[in-house]
Amino acid sequence: MNLANTVLYPGDTVGVIGSSANAAMLVTTARKMGLRVGAYGADETSEALQLADFKAVGTAKDRDKLQHFAESCAAIVYDSDRVSTDVVKFLAQFTRIPQGSDMLEIMQDRLLERAFFEQLNVNIAPYATIINLDDVYQSVNSIGYPCVLKPIQKEWSHGRELVIKTQTDIAKAAGLLDWGTYILESQIAYDREFSILVARDAEGNQQSFPITEVHSVDDRPQRVWVPTEVDDAVASEIHRIASEVAKNVSYVGVFEVSFYLTASGAIYVKKIVPAPSETGYVFAAAGTIDEFAEHMRAIAGLPLATPQLLTPAVTVNFTVKQLTAIRTQWQIKPNWDFTFYHLRKQADEDVMGHVTVQGPTVKTLLDQLDDTAIWATSTPDELTDQD
């Protein structure tokens, strides 16, 4: 299937695959646009399937169900970078998938991802390909400590990554390497983390959202705020790299590029997410258009909107364990907007939603969040005064 810019009109059917919070937001956005929406997933109680006009319950291996679902839709969107590329390629035989599978395939494989970054000539963390334990001992000399051992395929990462801080840690890698090829990557000592969302249409036109600043916990965005104080040269380089990515991919929709900034001012690309991202949730309150509406405009073949900032805002996620404290704030905070994901079977540490806070300055909002002490164990060390 090619990525021809076929317009979707109200009443046309679009399919959504995936089970993250994004899937439900895509369903809601598409229905608001007047589209008829189908959702495919293994759990019929998931929020996306419950909200859709029709649902198809099946796994990634149910080829007959996948084909029938694809043939019921004028186009299909996927919700995250964790969707199987095999499924996307299969569906693309029967309907349009504007996001395609190329960018998804590259970003799910750490070696392909790094080859793509090197092709763009951008800074990435030093790394080496690891087949056996001897490779680790040899490579660590050039990469240095601390470094992290990661499987090539990102889907295998859970429980199979190893942070190596000293030579004695290397022996722990022996069992992990039985799973297949790994990379050993330097851990960048960074001061700040930034993200930018870019929308790309079928003709290659681009629109970027304002740069956000991110505070991550366990490599997952916990707080995101906009606007952020960022040096003009740094902002210019972030925009340049994001634009280069958009020029070199076959993809339609919104994607994220995230960056590390070191104390010396060096910019490293952290990752690319070929789908709407958590870091973009803040624009539902802060911008003239949110990432899901812009994503669906691209998918539907509509002209891209120009995202503009309306107000300073901070988005922070909360877990099941924090719900009692969140309930207290529910009663007393007029500038807090609560979003619940309605995900099933959640443990105490699982993210169950996010709060978006609006106000006169980012510093005021971060101080307000800190004063509640809900997120006290993971507050950023330094926060500058930001307008």
Domain ranges of the chain: 13-97, 126-186, 192-378
List the 36-41 sheet strands across, edge first. 54-57, 36-41, 13-17, 75-78
Residue 299, pLDDT score: 97
Could you tell me which CATH class the domain 192-378 is placed in? alpha beta
Report d(CA 179, CA 161) in Å as an integer. Answer: 11
Number of H helices, E strands in the chain: 12, 17
Query: 3-class DSSP state for residue 185?
Result: strand
From edge to edge, which strands make up the β-sheet containing 162-164? 127-130, 182-186, 147-151, 162-164
Tokens of 17: 């695959």
pTM metric for this prediction: 0.92
DSSP 314-354: EEEEEEGGGHHHHHHHHHH-TTEEEEE---SS--TTSEEEE
Question: pLDDT for 7-36, tens place per residue?
Answer: 999 999 999 999 889 999 999 999 999 999
> What pLDDT band is residue 195 in, cutting at 50, 70 and 90?
very high
Give pLDDT tens digits for 112-143.
999 999 999 999 999 999 999 999 999 999 99
Closest Cα to residue 191, out of 215, 210, 207? 215
Strands 220-226 and 313-319: antiparallel
CATH no., domain 13-97: 3.40.50.20
Cα end-to-end distance, the chain, whole Å: 46
Q: How far is CA 24 from CA 16, 85, 128, 202, 346, in A?
A: 9, 20, 38, 24, 17
In angstroms, the CA 327 to CA 306 distance is 36
Residue pLDDT, tens place only, 54-104: 999 999 999 999 999 999 999 999 999 999 999 999 999 999 999 999 999
The pair of three-digit structure tokens given for residue 194, joined into one six-digit string: 């930034």
CATH topology for the 126-186 domain? Dna Ligase; domain 1 (3.30.1490)
Contacts of 365 (CB under 8 A, 6+ apart): 225, 312, 313, 314, 357, 358, 359
Strands 36-41 and 313-319: unpaired
